[in-house]
Every structure is written in structure tokens, then in C-alpha cells.
Structure 1
Amino acid sequence: MREALIVWGGWHGHEPEQCAGIVAGMLQHEGFRVHLENSTRAFASPRFSTMSLVVPIFTMSKIEKEEVANLSQAVREGVGLAGFHGGMGDAFRDTVEYQFMCGGQWVAHPGNIIDYRVNITRTDDPVMEGIRDFDYRSEQYYMHVDPSNEVLATTTFSGDHALWIEGVVMPVVWKRRHGQGRVFYSSLGHVAKEFEVPEMRMILKRGMVWAARI
């Protein structure tokens, strides 16, 4: 049986504990044995390298040098990494090794909670199969992203809340490699209630399964 580690904590506004419980249930439904931890010390454990998948849900906060080094090495050696919104894309802001692995970092969400459109760019990818463009209400993440990402969905900024970014097309969902490990990210999922959106939930579930080491 494949094992997954969910490490949650950080800023409470993203409801990390509630989201961790939801993600745990999703992975258990897919046949994973799930372990939940609420400290970054879990990343430094030697046992961590035997996992199939790690899901960080840890907005902002700090991570120790040995913890991120162990995490990066484990992913390079094949452990999958998958996550969503600020829990992965706005974690450990001062740790560039972590950002290099994830393929991006949050920098703004102009207008805060707004309505926007998610456009599917890779309908041929199994993660996005059967999913069409959809409307979404949440924070529209503006991110600094790695050009090597394989982008699966995007959003376009209207300029209503920051005129100078009008028309900017921003990745929303991507996957990538970090060494031998698969990395998946979706910027959707500000709070636990957003898991009620079928497209958001399906994209994350498929992305986590894709990223997990077999």
C-alpha cells in the first residue's frame, strides 16, 4: 500500500487542519495509508524518504535548513510532492530551495476574493480529462513561476484591481519534475469550503495520484 504524508500548519486563515482532514479522506479513498503531522520536523525524519507522496499544507512559516534539505533530497529520489493554494505555493517564503522544487511562489491576489475564470490548456492530460473551463470564486493568485513547468490550466487577469497586469495569463495548475520526483500544484483552494467545487476537488485528487511514487 502506498503511503502519504500530510504536513499541516502555518497561517490559520487557510484552515490547514480542516483541509488536511479533507485531503486525507481523498487519499484514503484512493487506497493510500495516510499519516498526518503538524510540524515541519516531519520533513527531517529518515522515514519520510519511504513515502510515496507528501502534501504540504503550511502557509508562510519557517522551515529549518536540514528539513528542507531532506525534503528536497527525498523528492529528487522519487517521493511525489503535491499541494494547493498557499499551503504549498506560499509556504516558507525565505527558502528558495523549496520554491525551486515547487516551481512557483505566490506574490499577490489583487482584489482578494473575486470571481474569475479558469481556462484548461491541456485537455489531453489525464489530470484534466473531461474538465472544461469553469468560473471560480476565490483569491486569484498572481505568482512567480518556473518556465519549465508543464502548465495544465491558466487564468487571465482583468486589470480591475491592478491595471498594470491587465491581460496577464497566469498558470493555475502545473506539474513538473524535481530530480526523479513528480511535483503537482494547483493554486485553487483558499479555504476548506472550496473542496465543494467539483473541478477543484477533481483536479487536486488526480494531481496527487499522478505525483505519487508507485
Structure 2
Amino acid sequence: MKEALIVWGGWSGHEPKECADVVGAMLEAEGFKVFKENTTEAFADPSIRDLSLIVPIITMAKIEKEELSNLLEAVKGGVGLGGYHGGMGDAFRDQPDYQFMVGGQWVAHPGNIIDYTVDVTRPDDPVMEGIPSFPYRSEQYYMHVDPSNEVLATTRFNGDHAEWIDGTVMPVVWKRRFGKGRVFYSSLGHVASEFEVPPMREILRRGLLWAAA
């Protein structure tokens, strides 16, 4: 049986506990044994190197040096890492080594909650197969991203809320490698209710399964 660790915490506005429960149920439905912790101390446990998947849901917050070091080594050694929105893409802002592993870092969401379009750019990829481009209402994440990411979906900014980025195309969903580990990220999912949007939920479900493979 595959085992997954969900570590939740950080900024409460992203509803980390509620989202951890949703993701945990999703993984349990796929046959995972799921462990949930609400402290970064869980990352320091050497046993995480035996897991199939780690899901951080920890916007902002801090992580100790030994906790991050063990997490990095676990993923380099082959443990999958997967997550979404600020829970993974805006965790540990002062740790560039963490950002190097994730492949990006949130920097802005002009206009806050707005309507925008998610454009599927790799319909041939198993994570995106059968999912057409779709409208979405949430924070449209502007991120600093790693050019080595394998981008699966993007969004285009229209400049209504920051005219200097009009026309900018920004990755929304990507996957990458970090050592032997598979890393998956989706910027969708501000609060737990967004899991009720079918393409958002399905993309994350498939991405987590890919990361854990």
C-alpha cells in the first residue's frame, strides 16, 4: 500500500485543515494510507524517505533547517511531492532551496478573486487528457517559475489590475523532477470549496498520483 503524508498549517485563510481533509479523502479513495500532521516537525522524521508522496498545505510559515534538509533529501531520493496554490507554491518564502524543488514561488494575485481562463497546453499528457481549457474564478497566481518545468496549463493576464503585465502568459500547472523525485504543482485552489470545481479537483488528483508513481 502506498503511503502519503499531508502536512498542513500556515495562513488560515487558505483553510489548510479543511483542504487537508479533502486531499486526504481523495488519496484514501485511491488506496493510499494517509498520515496528516499540522507541524513542520513531521518533515524531520527520517521515515518520510519511505513514503510514496508528500503533500504540503502550508502557506507562508517557517521551516527549520533540519526539517527542510530532510524533506529535500527525501524528494531527491525518490519520494513524490505534490500540491497546489499557496499551500505548496507560497510556503517557506525565505527558503530558496524549497522553491528550487517546487519549481516556482507565488509573488502576486492582481485583482484578488477574479474570473480568468485556464488554458490546457498539453492535452496529450495523462494529467490533462480529456480536460479542455476552462473558466475559473479565484486568485490568478502570478509566479516566479523555473524554466525547466514541464508546463501543462497556463493563464493569460489581461492587465486590468496591473497594466504592465497585460498579455503575460503564466504557468498554472506543471510537473518536474527533483533528483529522483517527481514534483507536481497546480496554482488552483484558494479555499476548500474550489475542490467542487471538477477540472480543478481532477487535475490535482491525477497530478498527485503521477507524483507518487
Name the TM tier (shorter chain): over 0.9
Per the alignment, in what secondary structure is the counterpart of residue 78 of structure 1? coil
Measure, in 2, the Cα distance between the counterparts of 1:98 and 1:38: 18
What letter is aligned with 1:88? M
Partner of 2:106: 106
Task: Give the alignment's Cα RMSD to 1 decimal.
Answer: 0.4
Q: Which runs of 4+ in 1 moved over 6 A?
A: none
One-letter code of the match for 2:83? Answer: G
Give the residue type in structure 2 aligned to 1:19: C
* Alpha-carbon separation, structure 2, partners of 1:52 and 1:76: 12
Whole-angstrom distance in 1 between the partners of 2:37 and 2:47? 13
Between the aligned partners of 1:146 and 1:168, the Cα distance in structure 2 is 16
2:34 corresponding residue in structure 1: 34
Separation in 1 of the partners of 2:49 and 2:78? Answer: 9
| 1:9 counterpart residue number | 9
Structure 2 CA distance for aligned equivalents of residues 48 and 176 of structure 1: 20
Letter in 1 for 2:42: A
Partner amino acid for 2:66?
A: E
- Amino acid in structure 1 at the alignment position of 2:33: R
TM-score normalized with structure 1 length: 0.99
Unaligned runs of 5+ in 2: none
Q: 1:136, CA displacement in angstroms?
A: 0.1
Give the CA deviation at 1:171.
0.1
Could you give the per-residue CA deviations for residues 12-58 of structure 1, whole angstroms, max 9, x where no partner exists?
Answer: 00000000000000000011000000000000001111100000000
Q: Distance in 1 between matches of 2:145 and 2:191?
A: 22
Residue 210 of structure 1 corresponds to which residue in structure 2? 210
**SS of the counterpart of 1:123?**
coil
Q: Which residue of 1 aligns with 2:167?
A: 167
Q: Identity of paired residues, percent?
A: 73
Q: 2:64 maps to what in 1? A: 64
> 2:127, 2:154 → 1: CA distance?
14
Aligned to 1:157: 157
